[in-house]
Structure 1
C-alpha cells in the first residue's frame, strides 16, 4: 500500500514532519520519498509544482489522490487506514473534542512561532521593526503559557488530548519540537519540556526526526530568553 504513496518533503519543516509521523503511526513505512532543499528553492521546482501548484512542502500523493495540506493528509491517512497501526482519533466524545480543539489551536501556535523564528525571513530588511518583533515575542510567550497550562491540567505523562496518543500529538508535536530546537528553556516551561521528552522517544517521532537536527544536535538559541 505504501508503495503507492509519494512524499516530497523538507527537513525541519513541521508540516512535513506531521505527515511523516502519521505515516509511521499507520505502519506505512516504505513509501516513496524525496528530500528537497528549501535553501536551493527545490520546493519551487517543476516536480513539486506538477503536484502542488502552491510550490510548498509537503507534497503528498497516494495513487491518484493528491493531499498536500499536512492536516488534510493526516486526516486522510487515519480515515483510509483506520484499522492499521495506531488509532489516532479516539472514540470518546470528550477526548475526541479535545483532540480537535488542540489540533486546530496548533495552527495558531505554529503561526506565532514562525512570526518570531522566521521574522527576518518573512519581513524585508527595510520593513523590520524591533517593536514588531517584540510584539511577536510577547504573543508567542502568551501562546506558550496556554500550552503549558493545558498540559499542567492534564497531568504528568499525558498526551495533548488525554491518555492516548492522537492526531493532536501528530500535528502539534513538530511545533513543540521546533520551539526546543530553537532554544526554549524547559526549566521555564517544564510541562512542555516533559511532553517534549515523552514524545521524542516515541518510535514514529524518532524515525522521522529531521536529519539535519541529527547531524547538528545543538540547535539555535533564538528562543532562549522567551
Structure 2
C-alpha cells in the first residue's frame, strides 16, 4: 500500500479524514518533525468505510487513523506519534526534550492526557458536535458530567502550568501536541472555551500550542482555521 515519492523516498500514508481529531494528532506530529513525504488517504466514515473487511485488515478495531510506512502498518495515534518522533529524531522539534527526565515527564503527561483529559473532552465534543451526524441526540447529562470532570482535571493543569511553560517542562513536546486537536474542537466547535479561559496559565498554554505553525498547517489543511 505504500508509495514511493519521485525522489525515491518512501512516503508515509496516513489513512483517515484530515479534519478528524485523531488524524490531526498524527499530521501535527509530522509537521513538527518536518516530514515532507507523506500522503493522506481519506476514509469515508459516513459510509462506514472504517468498518469494512478491507479496512479491518489494517485496523482490526475499526478506528481511525492508521499509517503505512513501508512494511509497517501502525495504529493508535499516540503510538504513531512516538514512532514518528523516534524515526525522525534528528530533524524538526525534539518532542521528547533533551534529557531522560524530559522524556519521562513527557510520557507521564501523555498518560495524563490519555487517562484523565481525553475521556471527558471526548464526551463533550462528541455529544455537542457529532452525535447528530449518527442520528443521536446530544446527551446533556453526559456533557455536564464531562464538564465537571474536566474542571477537576484542568485545576491540576493550572497548578502544573503555573510552574512550567509546557506540561513536561520548558519545551513543547508530544504531551502538549497530543492535546491540540480535541482542545481546539472544545473551544471552536463545542464552544466550551470558558473552561480554559478562566484559568490564566491553562489559557496561555492553549494559546501557545494553538498558534504553532504545525497546528495552523493542520487547521488550514482541514479547512478548520478560525
Q: 1:100 to 1:3 in 2, by over 3 A?
A: same
Counterpart in the other structure of 1:23: 30
2:11 is aligned, of 4, 7, 18, to: 4
> 87-96 vs 54-63, which deviates more?
87-96
> 28-37 vs 161-170, which deviates more?
28-37
For residues 69 and 57 of structure 1, the distance between their equivalents in structure 2, rounded to whole angstroms, comes to 8
Q: Secondary structure at the match of 2:14?
A: strand
2:118 is aligned, of 110, 114, 118, to: 110
- Kept in 2: contact 1:3–1:32 (CA 8 A): no
Question: C-alpha displacement at 1:200, in angstroms?
Answer: 2.1
Q: Deviations over 1:150-189 (max 9, x none)?
A: 21222xxx22212212111221222322222222125323
Consecutive unaligned residues of structure 1, counting only runs of 5 or more, are 218-226
Q: Secondary structure at the match of 2:197?
A: coil
- Kept in 2: contact 1:8–1:48 (CA 8 A): no
Q: 1:52 to 1:194 in 2, by over 3 A?
A: same
- Kept in 2: contact 1:7–1:59 (CA 8 A): yes
Consecutive unaligned residues of structure 2, counting only runs of 5 or more, are 1-7
Q: Structure 1 residue 207 and structure 2 residue 214: aligned?
A: no
Q: Deviations over 1:119-178 (max 9, x none)?
A: 47399969x975554333311221222222221222xxx222122121112212223222
Question: TM-score w.r.t. structure 1 length?
Answer: 0.80
For residues 113 and 41 of structure 1, the distance between their equivalents in structure 2, rounded to whole angstroms, comes to 24
Q: Deviations over 1:85-119 (max 9, x none)?
A: 22211232332222111111011211111122324
Q: 1:86 to 1:2 in 2, by over 3 A?
A: farther
2:65 is aligned, of 58, 71, 75, to: 58
> 131-140 vs 70-79, which deviates more?
131-140
For residues 92 and 64 of structure 1, the distance between their equivalents in structure 2, rounded to whole angstroms, comes to 31
Q: 1:2 to 1:9 in 2, by over 3 A?
A: farther
Q: Secondary structure at the match of 2:98?
A: coil
Q: 1:19 to 1:34 in 2, by over 3 A?
A: same
Counterpart in the other structure of 1:137: 147
Alignment RMSD: 2.8
Question: C-alpha displacement at 1:20, in angstroms?
Answer: 0.7
Q: Secondary structure at the match of 1:21?
A: helix
Matches within 5 A, 1:40-189: 40-107=47-114, 108-119=116-127, 121=131, 131-154=141-164, 158-181=165-188, 182-183=190-191, 184-185=193-194, 186-189=196-199
